[in-house]
Structure 1
Amino acid sequence: MSKSGGIGETIRTVVYAVLIALGIRTFAYEPFNIPSGSMIPTLLVGDYLFVSKFSYGYSRYSLPFGLPLIPGRILFEEPERGDVVVFKLPRDNETDYIKRLVGLPGDRIQMIEGVLHINGQPVKLQRVEDFIPPEAPNLRIAQFNETLPNGRTHRILERTNNGMLDNTPEYVVPAGHYFGMGDNRDDSVDSRVLAGVGYIPRENLVGRAEFLFFSTNGSAALWEFWKWPVAIRYDRLFDAIR
């Protein structure tokens, strides 16, 4: 009897733990990792971060497997210009993407010679020290502080002013949509590519990227703990995302 009771108690404990974990992942924070360099220098390949699910309210994409249990968005709060957000790629509503929101509903967005223009005005750019990739110390990339109209400042990389997406038509962000761009401006498929990403529907927002909790240089997976001493980027642990 006691053995049976012990097994039952163990099963209940496991079930409760799974339900608590699902609740936290669905309504509070969800972990993500960065597989590409489109958000360098803010986010590097091998970064692991937590995304707050409650920042913009909840939609079906807040739920596991995108279950269609929430119509539209509930408890919605408008994102701020400059937020780094995770969203479901509009063309398939499945793939997780991460970009910085630079355009809000109704905004006019355009790139002119590598400079972001919002509602006809260029954003402020300030050249800072070159970016040196941690795994390529001989490479130097032009780096700038970019200040958005609301005063939010972040760093971007700009290799050239005449890249494929450095001179664009003017985009008008539809109601209920947002315009996202990667901080690595010449190596990012983002809302500038309408057929690839395009405008981000409000419903597709998953959450706001808040802070890094782990980062490796790519020589070790998250579970390969025996490689951590030489793989971890210690200066990026528990760092807020700006």
Structure 2
Amino acid sequence: MSSFFTHIGTDFASILFVLTIVTGVLWVLDRFKLEPARKSVAAAAGTEPAKANWLVDFGRQFFPVIAAVFLLRSFVVEPFRIPSGSMIPTLRVGDFILVNRFAYGLRCPVGDCKLLALGEPKRGDVVVFRYPVDPKMDFIKRVIGLPGDTVRYVGKQLTVNGQLLSQELLGEFEGSPVLRYREDYQGVVHEILQNPDRPPQDFEFTVPEGQYFMMGDNRDGSSDSRYWGTVPEAYLKGRAFLIWMSWDAEASRPALSRIGGSIR
């Protein structure tokens, strides 16, 4: 079960960047050349200045709005929607979340370059990143292994650098045979799901430098680093921190109890 996002899309960043540049050029052109020329002609003729053509007028009016959205989305906070269940029970289908875009440094709006290093992922962070197999897609998972960490998964229990992550059984998940556990990862307490009908996929892996090992909280229902490998540092987009809206598709109404919930 994949956990990619069907938000407006990675390509939207490129589209927004181009729109910002185009409308910005039109705004500057009109502000410093075309508008003064229109006023000069009108003053000489004793008439009101002519209106700008529709394209210039579009750039002049929408540049501030487009630029503000571009800067906010690129460097501060970005919204995403969760369409699949690989992070259940932490995140559910229909959750709309906010992602801190500067948690791991200011990055170029388009491309993989980093403008300013401000922080690094911590074990247990819930992170949005570009899917290594198809970088046009965005995934969300929990950071399990940092560069250099040795991750061991035996009998559906995680050990990181020799430290076993404690698990407390909470019972069945919403009447299904899937079991719900409370897991403590160095103080990051969160819930996970395990399906006892699914056989364990035991492994031991050392995370390469500059890479991160990701897993979904729905341990037996997640496509993650166990299947497609680690995530390069350059592909990190930000840390998920808030559910600002949630929609219950079955009930066709907002899931009010989830709105405003912090993400751990």
TM-score, scaled to structure 2: 0.75
* Aligned-partner Cα distance in 1 for 2:260–2:177: 26
Aligned with residue 203 of structure 1, among 214, 234, 237:
234
Following TM superposition, by how much is the alpha carbon of 1:17 offset from its aligned partner in structure 2, in angstroms? 0.7
Q: 1:74 aligns to what?
A: 116
1:73 and 1:190, CA in 2 relative to 1: closer, same or farther beyond 3 A?
farther
Letter in 1 for 2:159: H
1:58-102 Cα distance to aligned partner (Å, 9 max, x none)? 334xx2xxx33x635632411111100000011222210000001
Unaligned runs of 5+ in 1: 133-137, 220-228
Alignment of 1:162-177 (within 5 A): 163=199, 166-177=200-211
Letter in 2 for 1:4: K
* Aligned-partner Cα distance in 2 for 1:230–1:161: 31
Alignment of 1:76-155 (within 5 A): 76-132=118-174, 138-139=175-176, 141-148=178-185, 150-155=186-191
Between Structure 1 and Structure 2, how many residues are aligned?
Answer: 216
Q: Which moved more, 1:95-104 or 1:116-125?
A: 116-125
TM-score, scaled to structure 1: 0.81
Which structure is higher in helix share? 2
1:15 and 1:174, CA in 2 relative to 1: closer, same or farther beyond 3 A?
same
Q: Is 1:36 the equivalent of 2:84?
A: yes
Percent identity (aligned): 37
1:175-201 Cα distance to aligned partner (Å, 9 max, x none)? 1111110000000010111xx2x1111
On the 8 A contact 2:105/2:114 being kept in 1, the answer is: no
On the 8 A contact 1:114/1:161 being kept in 2, the answer is: no
On the 8 A contact 1:113/1:161 being kept in 2, the answer is: no
Unaligned runs of 5+ in 2: 1-47
* Aligned-partner Cα distance in 2 for 1:139–1:127: 15
1:90-116 Cα distance to aligned partner (Å, 9 max, x none)? 122221000000111111112111111
1:119-148 Cα distance to aligned partner (Å, 9 max, x none)? 23321001114321xxxxx53531111111
1:13 and 1:114, CA in 2 relative to 1: closer, same or farther beyond 3 A?
same
Alignment of 1:5-24 (within 5 A): 12-24=60-72
Following TM superposition, by how much is the alpha carbon of 1:28 offset from its aligned partner in structure 2, in angstroms? 0.3
Following TM superposition, by how much is the alpha carbon of 1:3 offset from its aligned partner in structure 2, in angstroms? 8.1
